[in-house]
Chain A
Amino acid sequence: MSAAAAAQVPAEWVSVLPHLGYRLPEDRTPQDSQAAQVTVNLPLSLVRQSILPTGRWPIPGPVLQGYRRYRPTPLWRARGFEEAIGARVPVYVKYEGGNISGSHKLNTALAQVHYYQAAGVRELATGTGAGQWGTALAAACGGSGLRCTVFMVGGSLAAKPYRGSLMRLLGATVIPSPSGLTTVGKRAREQRPGGGLALAIGEAIEYAAGRQGCAFATGSGETYSIIHQSVIGQEAIAQLQELDADVDTIIGPVGAGSSFGGTALPFLVHAKTAGLPCPRLLAAESSACPKLTHGVYAFDHTDATRAGPLEAMYTVGSDYQIPDMHAAGLRYHGAAKLISAMRYHGQIAAMAVGQQEALRAGQTFARSEAVLTAPETGHALAAAARLAAGGLGAGRRSQGVLVCLSGQGYLDLSAYDEYLAGRLDDAPPSDELIRAATERLQPVHPEQIPQHAAS
């Protein structure tokens, strides 16, 4: 591998909000929200980043210091992978798996811990699917003295026990979800065994609400977390320039969309600012949870408690029982509202990939590039392989593809074992199932997306 590593760690985060040409739909309050008292559950610093059309946000010193321990992350041309897949265009990769958490999630975990700590919070609770976000938050909390409690999808924890070990090593308390600790968890244990990320998040929200000095922190769906991930794309732009390389397609895996957004959206900002054509931004999602390719654009719940806001998202329905799958980080019913709005406005393309194809791509990458990627990342590699081998399509300049390698796969080897044993299958939901899970949702009509003056 020939890495471009001389790039600097960016001193600012980049926001795409002022470049969209429209405002994101406002969240809706659940009908039954009658609480007599109002509270501030999110540091205002994060609220500002989510709603203000500010293009650049300075990265606080302590966060930048944390970034410098593992950034800039390597970017290289994956020539071995190109050869293995018969690529007709160069494939560049940006690897985010080299930190203690093993994924890009540490980029927002460090930022969130900084802001919550400044706000006086003493404990953070969260829900995690594959465990990457939980590990990242545990790592960030462990370095700052905050307590950390992680509700991890029970099936995922059982399949990947070392995720739990690592989080506990970093000082977190790890609770399999559904648990007996929360009302929503107890109810789920009675009604629908198995759980899922929305339930784990719901448990964390309920847990945090009942504890003084405790707040809920979320990994990837919120606009601020996508903004924190913009260090990935900013570094990639500089690194590609150092290599005198150009790409016209940016690909990342999408659970909610933070690694994809963090990689791809700085390219959109860069293109808009420089007056250049925008590269194609391609979201690679799981065919078991195909919100961007088969879902509806509607207001849906973000978690199983249904106490949180209804957000405008592409969704397969928060009621949809997503089948068990190994890329648990993609096992979420909706895409982030920022990613969803951009999909609605035609600024983002999407492709659904099955887990067999994803793990096959991961295996090919491991053999050809000597880097073991997470199953989630395999979805982006598979999408890249389809495009790079087949050409980038009519009208594209076919200069090359950049893939965000969102995480490493050493704690996901059980998934590769299943793949090697031929025990994996793909179960994409039928249109009827998605229709049944989404028919009660309020669609986001175009007139509900207010236009604002182009800035």
Chain B
Amino acid sequence: MHRSAANVRDTVNQTVKRAVIRESRLRLDPGEIADDEPLNGGVLRINSLAFVGILVQLEDDLDIIFPDELFEGRSFRTVADVVDILVRASAADEQNEAAEQNEAAL
């Protein structure tokens, strides 16, 4: 059974916020981080070096493998920038999974 788009977004949003809070060594609730919070600003301290490690951790948390081409030429300024691209990846992953299941059922 597939989750609604709103559910997917909410899950990704919470998971990303938990990850960036952990990486910034903060003790905050995900709800205390605004969607437009800068990744490398006054609150969060995420740089490009740490970011790739976070993405691999998010793959584990979200049970998804992000394709390499997802990130080429992109830059991320806020939490929402990351959430947007990962929601898209999650949706594509679910569609692929559904297609595979349909194929197997035929």
Q: Which residues of B contact A51 (CB under 8 A)?
A: 53, 56
CA A42 to CA B48, docked complex, whole Å: 10
Q: When the two chains form their complex, are residues B77 and A37 in contact, meaning their CB atoms are under 8 A apart?
A: yes
Q: When the two chains form their complex, are residues A27 and B49 in contact, meaning their CB atoms are under 8 A apart?
A: yes
Binds B, one of A112-120, A127-135, A282-290, A402-410: A112-120
Binds B, one of A28-36, A76-84, A87-95, A344-352: A28-36
Please, which residue of chain B has its CB at the minimum distance from the CB of A27? Answer: B49
Please, which residue of chain B has its CB at the minimum distance from the CB of A215? Answer: B72
Binds A, one of B3-11, B24-32, B33-41, B92-100: B33-41
Please, which residue of chain A has its CB at the minimum distance from the CB of B60? Answer: A52
CA A29 to CA B23, docked complex, whole Å: 13
CA A29 to CA B69, docked complex, whole Å: 25
The smallest C-beta distance from B81 to any residue of chain A, in angstroms, reads: 9
**Interface size bucket, A side?**
20 to 34
Q: Which residues of A contact B38 (CB under 8 A)?
A: 36
Known interface pairs A29-B49, A48-B56. Does A37 touch B75 (Cβ–Cβ under 8 Å)? yes
Q: When the two chains form their complex, are residues B68 and A38 in contact, meaning their CB atoms are under 8 A apart?
A: no
**Interface size bucket, B side?**
20 to 34
Known interface pairs A39-B75, A120-B73. Does A44 touch B48 (Cβ–Cβ under 8 Å)? no
Q: When the two chains form their complex, are residues A35 and B53 in contact, meaning their CB atoms are under 8 A apart?
A: no
Could you mark each residue 38-55 of chain B with 1 if its beta carbon is under 8 Å from any beta carbon of chain A, else 0? 111100001111111101
CA A120 to CA B69, docked complex, whole Å: 6
Is A278 located at the chain interface by the 8 A CB criterion? no
Is A121 located at the chain interface by the 8 A CB criterion? yes
CA A48 to CA B58, docked complex, whole Å: 12
Please, which residue of chain B has its CB at the minimum distance from the CB of A26? Answer: B53
CA A450 to CA B69, docked complex, whole Å: 33
Q: Which residues of A contact B53 (CB under 8 A)?
A: 26, 47, 51
Please, which residue of chain A has its CB at the minimum distance from the CB of B72? Answer: A120
Q: Which residues of A contact B59 (CB under 8 A)?
A: 44, 48
Q: When the two chains form their complex, are residues B77 and A36 in contact, meaning their CB atoms are under 8 A apart?
A: yes
Q: When the two chains form their complex, are residues A37 and B76 in contact, meaning their CB atoms are under 8 A apart?
A: yes
Contact of A40 among B39, B40, B74, B77 (CB under 8 A): B74
Please, which residue of chain A has its CB at the minimum distance from the CB of B77? Answer: A37
CA A42 to CA B39, docked complex, whole Å: 19
Please, which residue of chain A has its CB at the minimum distance from the CB of B66? Answer: A44
CA A17 to CA B68, docked complex, whole Å: 22
Q: Which residues of A contact B51 (CB under 8 A)?
A: 38-40
Known interface pairs A44-B56, A120-B73, A212-B73. Does A38 touch B66 (Cβ–Cβ under 8 Å)? no
Please, which residue of chain B has its CB at the minimum distance from the CB of A34? Answer: B40
Q: When the two chains form their complex, are residues B47 and A38 in contact, meaning their CB atoms are under 8 A apart?
A: yes
The smallest C-beta distance from B13 to any residue of chain A, in angstroms, reads: 18
Contact of B72 among A26, A29, A47, A121 (CB under 8 A): A121
The smallest C-beta distance from A301 to any residue of chain B, in angstroms, reads: 13
Please, which residue of chain B has its CB at the minimum distance from the CB of A28? Answer: B49
Could you mark each residue 57-85 of chain B with 1 if its beta carbon is under 8 Å from any beta carbon of chain A, else 0? 00100000011110111111100000000
Q: Which residues of B contact A40 (CB under 8 A)?
A: 48, 51-52, 55, 71-72, 74
Q: Which residues of A contact B73 (CB under 8 A)?
A: 120, 212-213
Q: Which residues of B contact A27 (CB under 8 A)?
A: 49
Q: When the two chains form their complex, are residues B75 and A38 in contact, meaning their CB atoms are under 8 A apart?
A: yes
Please, which residue of chain B has its CB at the minimum distance from the CB of A213? Answer: B73
Could you mark each residue 345-377 of chain A with 1 if its beta carbon is under 8 Å from any beta carbon of chain B, else 0? 000000000000000000000000000000000
The smallest C-beta distance from B34 to any residue of chain A, in angstroms, reads: 16
Known interface pairs A37-B77, A38-B40, A38-B76. Does A44 touch B52 (Cβ–Cβ under 8 Å)? yes
Instruction: Please report which residues of chain A, range 8-48, place their CB below 8 angstroms from some CB of chain B when the two chains form the complex.
Output: 26-27, 29, 33-45, 47-48
Q: Which residues of B contact A98 (CB under 8 A)?
A: none
Is A309 located at the chain interface by the 8 A CB criterion? yes
Please, which residue of chain B has its CB at the minimum distance from the CB of A309? Answer: B49
Q: When the two chains form their complex, are residues B55 and A35 in contact, meaning their CB atoms are under 8 A apart?
A: no
Q: Which residues of B contact A26 (CB under 8 A)?
A: 53
Q: When the two chains form their complex, are residues B52 and A35 in contact, meaning their CB atoms are under 8 A apart?
A: no
Q: Which residues of A contact B49 (CB under 8 A)?
A: 27, 29, 33, 309
Q: When the two chains form their complex, are residues A38 and B46 in contact, meaning their CB atoms are under 8 A apart?
A: yes
Question: For A45, A47, A52, which residue has the most chain B Cβ atoms within 10 angstroms?
Answer: A47
Binding site for A on B (CB under 8 A): 38-41, 46-53, 55-56, 59, 66-69, 71-77
A-B pairs, 8 with minimum CB distance? A120-B72, A40-B71, A119-B68, A37-B75, A43-B68, A38-B51, A47-B52, A120-B69
Beyond A40-B71, A120-B69: 20 further Cβ-contacts under 8 Å?
A: A29-B50, A35-B40, A37-B39, A37-B76, A37-B77, A38-B40, A38-B48, A38-B75, A38-B76, A39-B71, A39-B76, A40-B74, A44-B59, A47-B55, A51-B56, A119-B68, A119-B71, A120-B73, A212-B73, A213-B73
Q: Can you give 8 contacting A-B residue pairs, CB < 8 Å?
A: A34-B40, A36-B40, A36-B41, A39-B76, A40-B52, A40-B74, A47-B55, A119-B68
Binding site for B on A (CB under 8 A): 26-27, 29, 33-45, 47-48, 51-52, 115, 118-121, 212-213, 309
